[in-house]
Amino acid sequence: MQQITIRGLDHTIEKKIRKIARLNQKSINQVIKDIIHKNFNVNKSPASSIKQLAGGWSQKEADDFKAAIQPCRQIDNEMWQ
């Protein structure tokens, strides 16, 4: 695959791309590829389709969900005897 260099990118856009990459624990390259693929509706691999179907949570969203359901994971031992 060939490389593409982007020059003169607006500073605000660059900051947003870097923020998306950081929040989703992705490389800047991957974030830009995702944006391009989404914009051009390029066929995605089955793995990315499954991720999209499952919601594709960021790490923070997944951690927040795990913390929210933690009380549901506690077992009442008296109830199960």
| 47-72 average pLDDT score | 76
Instruction: Please report the pLDDT score of residue 61 as a whole number.
Output: 85
| 66-75 average pLDDT score | 85
What backbone phi and psi angles, to 5 degrees, belong to 69? -95, 0
Q: What is the pTM of this model?
A: 0.49
Instruction: Please report the pLDDT score of residue 28 as a whole number.
Output: 92
| 15-30 average pLDDT score | 92
Distance CA 79, CA 24 (A): 40
**Does the pLDDT value for residue 48 go beyond 60?**
no
Cα 23 from chain centroid? 8
